[in-house]
Amino acid sequence: MADQTPNVCGNPSSVENLGGASGQTASELDKLRAEVNSDVKATVPDRFKGDTANALQRFANWLADLIPEGEGSPMEIYHKSLGQAAQTMQKAKQLLEQAQQFCAQNGLYLRPDLVVQACDPNRPDAQALVTVGQNQVDTARQIADLARQQIRAANQVLDQMATKTADDISAIVNALGGQGGRGRTGGSRTRRGAATPRPRATEESELLYGPEGRIRLPAPGTGTWSGTPGDSVWTPHNPQNYGLEPGQSIRWREGVPDLSEHEVPPQFMRDGGSATLDGLPLTGDYKIDNALGDQALANRFGMTPDQVTQWRQDNDYIYHHYSDNELQLVPGRVHRALPHQGSASELR
């Protein structure tokens, strides 16, 4: 009767396996985090500047913050906790086997509900033996319960991390709107070689056709329009993603953002004047038009065009093509983040 082992202690190896798998995951996450940091740091300083560099570095930092590294990482804690639980469970299993052995040697048997009984209750020492055997079984059961408590506690810590992280990521993804990206198969790697010249919608933008031709707007779900999309006021759900302060919005006119509200303020202009440069013979060619803008400002500031270029770079100011003869000097943080095809496209 006593050879039927109740599954009170579970299978310690299965617990250890799960702990081992979480340890491997923690190690792989550490490797991935290091690679991401290395890739970003190797590329950003030389290839990107300004807000793009900041955004990429922030993304790498975000991953690091999301899942702490090394000993303090929830996956690593889970690994260790389950390892301890497996040891505890193994101890319980050994104690139960010893109790079963005691029962078998002393004319006792263990019921599936972990109650010890004497095969011959009429033996004079039956009750004393049952008490000893039951104590051993109860100890094994208590230690098995302790192992399960360790697993529950580990589950709780890991679950909190996973749930919070998933919520955080979902919030970010929802804020960005839509589906996008490169595709899990990486099949789009061959696409770059073709380099077909075309405007294309990204996950952050929507390509539409209006009366003036192609217009690119922020993707649906990233903000709200007060009226006709592309010809009304657009208020982003996450203004910080567009270099704006909470509550700020952007006025669009005929498919082109009018960034006059977000222009460089007069107090930051060298002559205290407006950051709108109009009456320029713009071509749609950025290099030519930037030179025209720099020349116009050079005339106003009493500087050379090269000095204006340097001043713009130092302050991250960019020309926004608003119409076929008007440039708006705006902070790069606003201009770069906003999906649009300005009047430069129309000029081209």
Partner 1 sequence: MGDGFELSVSAVSGLADAFADQQQRFHQLGGPLRDAAATIDTGDAGLDAETRAVIGRVNTMLGLIGDTWDRLAGAVDTVVDNVQQTDQQVAGSYRELLDGVAGTGTAQNVPMA
CB 200, min distance to partner 1, A: 7
Binding to partner 1 (CB under 8 A): which residues in 307-346? 309, 312-313, 318
39 touches partner 1 by CB under 8 A: yes
Site string for partner 1, 280-309 (x = CB under 8 A): -----xxx--x------------------x
Neighbours of 7 (CB within 10 A): 8
> What does residue 292 show for φ and ψ, rounded to 5 degrees?
-65, -45
Chosen residue from 124, 190, 200, 245 binding partner 1 by CB under 8 A? 200
Near partner 1 by CB under 8 A, which window of 126-134, 189-197, 228-236, 252-260? 189-197
Residues of this chain, 218-237, that bind partner 1 according to CB under 8 A: none
For the record, the structure tokens of 230 come out as: 């592309």
Q: Check residue 226 and report its DSSP letter.
A: S
CB of 282 to partner 1, least distance (A): 14
Q: Which of 242, 205, 208 shows the shortest CA–CA distance to 335?
A: 242
b/e per residue 71-80 (b: at least 16 CB within 10 A): eebbbbbbbe
Of 24, 54, 135, 174, the one binding partner 1 (CB under 8 A) is 24
Q: How far is CA 63 from the centre of its chain?
A: 6
- The region of 186-194, 221-229, 257-265, 270-278 touching partner 1 under the rule CB under 8 A is 186-194
**Which of 25, 84, 94, 307 is the binder for partner 1 (CB under 8 A)?**
25
By the 8 A CB rule, do 237 and 175 touch? yes
Quote the CA–CA distance of 218 and 236 in Å, as a whole number: 9
Convert residues 144-163 into a mask of x (bound to partner 1 by CB under 8 A) and - (unbound).
x--xx--xx--x--xx-xxx
Which residue type sits at 186?
G
Distance CA 243, CA 139 (A): 63
C-beta neighbour count of 44 within 10 angstroms? 17
Residue among 186 and 302 whose Cβ is closer to partner 1: 186
Q: Which is nearer to partner 1, 127 or 313 (CB)?
A: 313
Question: Binders of partner 1 among 257-276, rule CB under 8 A?
Answer: none
